[in-house]
Amino acid sequence: MAAVPTLGEIVSEFSELDDATERLEYLIEIGDTLPEFPAAARVEANRVQGCQSNVWLIASHPADAPERVDLQADSDAPMVKGLVAILVAAFSGKAAQEILDFKVESLFERLKLRAFISPMRSNGLHSMVLFVRNLADKTVEASRASGGSSVPERVESLKTNSSNESDLPPLTQEEVRRLRDDFPILATKTDDGKPLVYLDNGATTQRPRSVLAAMTAAYEQYFSNVHRGGHSLAARTTEQYERARQLARDFLRARHSHEVIFTSGTTAAINLVARSWGDANIGANDEVLLTEMEHHSNIVPWQQLAQRTGCKLRFAPITDDGQLDLERWSEILNERTKLVAFTAVSNVLGTINPIAELTRRAHAIGAKVLVDAAQAAPHQPLDVQRDDIDFLALSGHKMLGPTGIGLLYGKESLIDAMPPFLGGGSMIRTVTIDGFSPAMLPAKFEAGTPPIVEAIGLGAAIEYLNAIGLERIHRYEQSLAQAAHAALASIDGLAILGPSPEKKGGIVTFTLRGAHPDEVAKVLDANGVAIRAGHHCAMPLHQRLGLPASSRASFYLYNTLAEVEQLAEALRRTRKIFEAK
């Protein structure tokens, strides 16, 4: 048997091969150089899940260098053996942190084996890389626990970037005017020729050209199904799909990409937790704590859970100015509370809730926490590690992305223990006539063909938001809300709901005496101003406020102070119409 080539020798040899078939032949050749794998180690416990062929991998740590990882591996497929040989050459003998920092994707790009590194079930290389990185990650964690290491560099850099962002100034009106050119729909006019003033961002946002371009490119240039095809289109599509997951991981400052589960939106994500974690962990004597300001998506799934299990739902009250009553909150929390589910930002009142404080109180009595971040993710930085969040749900269409895509973040220890919610393709490891075994995370919860292009669009939206800065967006929106409060306060008969501007996001919800909210929305629409009218999928909150409905103006990064004044002027006209009645 030929000697096992070094990584340098492998790279050098591949650089001289221009033909794709020759590269595959060399791949098989270097697979034959793998040392004999111990027969006793060819057991299920050492088999890498997610590979269509059999791949066995074992790791050891030298006694004199416990941070180093030595690898032995083998496969029963000739071409996969070659991939295994490359991984062993790249990773074996390195310190765990070196393995985590090594850009293996760039290596396979350089070897012109890009198709193999995509997470395709036809080769399993991605699963092998995850397996090795998981081993390295556990080694780093063990070293950190013993005082030998600090926070991983990637997470530390993200947190540093997050803190530095607060030093940046908010968006200026000139910057916003330039940003508006990125959104084609903002140049449209009403049927009467009035410029569009779009103030219904709490319902859904508009999309920038970069998101539209990313989705068009996916359909026109490389579209295929993900995780299954053996051809280059499938590999590239899978690569872009999983890149979106990585962007989402960094956006939330999560530790692992597999803690991000793509769903159709916030509603689907919360239902997933209620059905999977809830059914497995909540019983008749348990309680779920919600708040009076929740969206129906964070109420009804728990009501359905209560119908199935007999558990009790309790609702934390709000104060008259639309904030959580934290004193009553502590009174309601008790040893029977198993889950606390709350919105980070109210979609009606705009109230910003103290995520870290509420999570700390819940964990103190042993409860898990789910955060509805649908109204927070588009507007302010989130950090699931810093705030110790167990579950978090968000929707892409509220943050410049397409409809039909959202995500659930879950701590690995929790979602790994949860049973699959939907059954079918993709979420399985094996299937027989007698049963099935589920796939690894995140595939375990992504049954069927996923929203591929929508996920790619969400990734482009995240990149767009990152380029601007969430903290800058948040402070700018608060300035718009402050201007709106000041402008609307002078309108007779108009009452603003919720707290003062510094305690809320860019949402201003109000009522106008003598006019139904739907009538207000119709008059404003005639003036080119688009707002939301109704109960905003928050009927219990409106019942608490003693209102059948309300009107809501919700701002985003492309709205201007001039549009705030146009809103106020349209409301003054509306007031005159109903004063005459």
| Residue 311 bears catalytic tag | no
pLDDT tens by residue, 381-427: 999 999 999 999 999 999 999 999 999 999 999 999 999 999 999 89
How far is 384 from 368, CA to CA, in rounded Å? 13
Averaged confidence pLDDT in the chain:
90
pLDDT tens by residue, 344-366: 999 999 999 999 999 999 999 99
Per-residue pLDDT, 167: 67
Measured in residues, the chain has a length of 581
Spatial strand order in the sheet of 68-75: 55-60, 68-75, 94-95
pLDDT at residue 161 is higher than 80: no
Q: Are 104 and 117 in contact (CB under 8 A)?
A: yes
As to burial, measured by CB atoms within 10 angstroms (0-12 exposed, 13-18 middle, 19+ buried), residue 36 is exposed
pLDDT tens by residue, 274-298: 999 999 999 999 999 999 999 999 9
Could you tell me which residue, 124 or 93, shows the higher pLDDT?
93
Which percentage of the chain shows pLDDT scores above 90? 65
| Collapsed DSSP state (helix, strand, coil) of residue 553 | strand
pLDDT at residue 125 is higher than 90: no
**Domains along the chain?**
7-145 (3.90.1010.10), 470-579 (3.90.1150.10)
Indicate the pLDDT class of residue 170, thresholds 50, 70 and 90.
confident
Angle between helices 452-468 and 470-488 (to 10 degrees): 80
- Cross-strand bridge partners of residue 408: 261, 393
As to burial, measured by CB atoms within 10 angstroms (0-12 exposed, 13-18 middle, 19+ buried), residue 289 is buried
pLDDT at residue 323 is higher than 90: yes
pLDDT tens by residue, 535-571: 999 999 999 999 999 999 999 999 999 999 999 999 9
As to burial, measured by CB atoms within 10 angstroms (0-12 exposed, 13-18 middle, 19+ buried), residue 209 is middle
DSSP string, 262-327: EESSHHHHHHHHIIIIIHHH--TT-EEEEETT--GGGTHHHHHHHHHH--EEEEE-B-TTS-B-HH
Name the nearest CA neighbour of 555 among 201, 171, 173. 201
As to burial, measured by CB atoms within 10 angstroms (0-12 exposed, 13-18 middle, 19+ buried), residue 340 is buried
213 DSSP 8-state letter:
H
pLDDT tens by residue, 45-80: 788 866 677 888 888 888 888 788 888 888 888 888
Q: Per the residue annotation, which of 537, 539, 549, 561 is the catalytic one?
A: 537
Indicate the pLDDT class of residue 154, thresholds 50, 70 and 90.
very low
pLDDT tens by residue, 190-246: 888 899 999 999 999 999 999 999 999 999 999 999 987 778 888 889 889 999 999
| Collapsed DSSP state (helix, strand, coil) of residue 184 | helix
How far is 515 from 495, CA to CA, in rounded Å? 12
The 3-class SS string of 346-386 reads CCCCCEECCHHHHHHHHHHCCCEEEEECCCCCCCCCCCCCC
Per-residue pLDDT, 201: 98
Indicate the pLDDT class of residue 156, thresholds 50, 70 and 90.
very low
Task: Output the CA torsion sign for 207, 208, 211, 213.
Answer: positive
Q: Are 375 and 345 in contact (CB under 8 A)?
A: yes
pTM of this prediction? 0.84
Please enumerate in sequence order all residues whose Cβ is within 8 A of that of 229, keeping only pairs 6 or more positions apart, or say none: 120, 122, 235
Q: Are 347 and 394 in contact (CB under 8 A)?
A: no
